[in-house]
Amino acid sequence: MKVVSVSKAHDGIQGVYTHASDACACDMTFAVFAPPQAKDGRVPVLWYLSGLTCTHANVMDKGEYRRMAAELGLMIVCPDTSPRGEGVPDEKDNWQFGCGAGFYLDATQQPFAKNYRMYSYLTEELPRLVAENFPADMARQSIFGHSMGGHGALTIALRDPERFKSCSAFAPIAQPMTAGWSRPALEKYLGPDEAAWRAYDATALIEDGRRFPEFLVDQGTADGFLQDGLRPWLLEDACGKAGIALTLRMQDGYDHSYNFISTFMDDHLRWHAARLAG
């Protein structure tokens, strides 16, 4: 692991790091905010997964999480959204696929299967790296994200409910199997058999018997992707049928941007902190 930068913030440390990833077969970058409480021992870990076109840097620069994370004693880990670099296959003119659009899955189709293994990276490799190099209490982990990252947070939590104390999302892609901006990517990464897609779709996972105790979802009513891409009512319906507690808050007048995310960031951090403490 190499240090790209470290900077003091709210008496904690915001760092950016790179390492050679076995899972993604390229160098990967991620960010960690260690709160001031980390000086005295291990602290809970909250994973933040970003959306399409983003890197680790978007939430660092616009998410406004450090003040509250420092107050609550939360370590915030912000991975990248996909593999990158020379030799990584990409569609440079397609922002919904390739670099910046890994969809938090393990691709099975060539030429993407070698690098696009974000599910394994986030559930196996990066947690080991964090545990080895930071004062992280890996017995207390939670996860949240935005848009594509909200989709990733929901599916990862549903597939490993014992690992995470809580899961929330800002404007998640509730059913990527049928959404216009994610369905083509799933087919390219996973092939034409839609049965293979269900492992990376929150509503399908719930329909197939996966469970998580509760979710918190915030969604802006002025989000331009609401009707065709996000459709939180599909998640609401699936959770209702499965008996999963879902708090879905439709936030009047908010869009899909980090202005929306930063407005409700403190709410989500407090919500996770309460469950990590328990």
3-state helix, strand, coil in the chain (%, to 5): 35, 25, 35
Whether 255 is catalytic is no
Give the containing element (helix H, strand E) for 46. strand 43-49
Active site residue 56: no
The single residue of 146, 182, 223, 268 carrying the catalytic annotation is 223
pTM over 0.95: yes
Range of the domain at 19: 2-276
Q: How many CB atoms lie within 10 A of CB 113?
A: 15
- What total number of domains does the chain contain? 1
The whole-chain average pLDDT of the chain stands at 97
The pLDDT tens digits of the residues spanning 202-246 come to 999 999 999 999 999 999 999 999 999 999 999 999 999 999 999
Work out the pLDDT band at 200, boundaries 50, 70, 90: very high
d(CA 32, CA 53): 20
Catalytic residue among 50, 147, 168, 182: 147
Percentage of the chain exceeding pLDDT 90: 100
Which two structure tokens, joined as six digits, stand for 119?
């599910």
* Six token digits for residue 86: 């020379």
Q: Which of 146, 151, 256, 272 is catalytic?
A: 256
147 in catalytic set: yes
Q: Is 117 helix (H, G, I), strand (E, B) or coil?
A: strand
Using 50, 70 and 90 to split pLDDT, how confident is the model at 260?
Answer: very high
Q: What is the pLDDT of residues 135-144, one digit of tens each?
A: 999 999 999 9
- Name the pairing type of β-strands 214-220 and 245-251: parallel
b/e sequence 143-168, b meaning 16+ C-beta within 10 Å: bbbbbbbbbbbbbbbbbeeeebbbbb
266: CATH: 3.40.50.1820
| pLDDT tens-place string over residues 72-127 | 999 999 999 999 999 999 999 999 999 999 999 999 999 999 999 999 999 999 99
